[in-house]
Amino acid sequence: MSGTGEDKRSQLLAEIEEFSRSGPRASAEPAKPELHRETLAFPDLNKAQGVAPAAKAAASPVATPPPTLEAPSSLGAPAASSLLARLKQQAQSLQQGADQRDAEIEARAHQLSASIGAAFHYLDDLVKQLNIIKPAIPKEFVFPGNIVFAGMSWVEGAADFRMVPSATEDRRYESLTARFRIAAPQQIAVERDAIGIEPLRKTLHDYGIAFSVEEKQNARHQVERARFSFPCEIKAGFLIKADYEAGHLLLRTRNIDRFGMMEFRLRPEDLNQETLDELTKLFLGEKSRFLTMYRRSA
């Protein structure tokens, strides 16, 4: 027992002496490789494990660049039959239709404004000439109740216009008006009984005729009769207005060709030289085709 212990002690001392001279003795077992985080790799499940080349590749991985994204244009346009293409085609069709309608409305509005502008210049010049000539009006105007206005002549007239309110320089005509008076030097006197007083008073007022009235009362202070006096004078005129929403012109006359109002609807192309000439003949009491060219709307 002691000899064996002595031998082990001698062997240990020899090993210590050898270690101090030549370093550690090589181990019979292969050294295990040191593993670092950057060298770890997941195994390829499609290949058998434990193959030396695979282990070597795992121990020395090749750095790969990060993936890059392709530009949207390189992904390719949608097919012609795709939902997006069909929606784009539908939107383009609707936009083209809207643009065409807007262009037609704009052209119609320009035509309406231009027709009123041309008519105003015609009538403004016309009225200036009539104010100098003061032509006779051959037509007789019959008042309800067989009251006749006759032997009248042109007294005076004027033409005017209005523009559509707008903040832009591209302004449009809204309407034109022509007003005039025709008259004769005589006075007209008419008597009415109690029943006819108020109807005549209302009619004179509606037609814009200035009048005076003298009432006769009985012993009970009741009005039995009245005497109306008024000049043989008629205030007349007309208005032409653009209806831009409907795309037509409204012509409204007052005490022209007859007492009362008349209304017509015209297209912008209707307000031409021929129409204006026939309208002029109408309010001058001459033979005119105007009422056969256009039907009254009111």
CB burial readout 226-260, b (16+ within 10 A) else e = bebebebbbbbbbbbbbeeeeebbbbbbbbbbebe
Q: Within a domain: residue 195?
A: yes
In-domain check, residue 174: yes
Tell me, letter by letter, the H, E, C secondary structure of the chain: CHHHHHHHHHHHHHHHHHHHHHCCCCCCCCCCCCCCHHHCCCCCCCCCCCCHHHHHHHHCCCCCCCCCCCCHHHHCCCCCCCHHHHHHHHHHHHHHHHHHHHHHHHHHHHHHHHHHHHHHHHHHHHHHHHHHHCCEECCCEEECCCEEECCEEEEEEEEEEEECCCCCCCCCEEEEEEEEEEEEEEEEEEEEEHHHHHHHHHHHHHCCCCCEEEEEECCCCCEEEEEEEEEEEEEEEEEEEEECCCCEEEEEEECCCCCCEEEEEECHHHCCHHHHHHHHHHHCCCCCCHHHHCCCCC
Domain presence at residue 232: yes
Give the residue among 152, 117, 142, 139 at the shortest CA–CA distance from 281.
139
pLDDT reported for residue 220? 85
Q: Is residue 194 part of a domain?
A: yes
Domain presence at residue 51: no
Residue 177 lies in a domain: yes
Domain contains 59: no
Domain range for 114 is 103-293
| Cα–Cα nearest to 251, from 201, 199, 291 | 291
pLDDT at 103: 76
Note the pLDDT of residue 78: 53
The domain total for the chain is 1
Asked if 47 and 54 touch (Cβ cutoff 8 Å), the reply is: yes
The rounded average pLDDT for each run of 10 residues, N- to C-terminus, in the chain (298 residues) is 60 66 56 47 46 48 55 54 84 83 82 96 97 97 90 98 82 96 96 93 92 91 93 97 94 96 95 96 97 93
274-280-282 Cα angle (round to 5):
105
Q: What was the pLDDT predicted at 106?
A: 84
Does residue 81 belong to any structural domain of this protein?
Answer: no
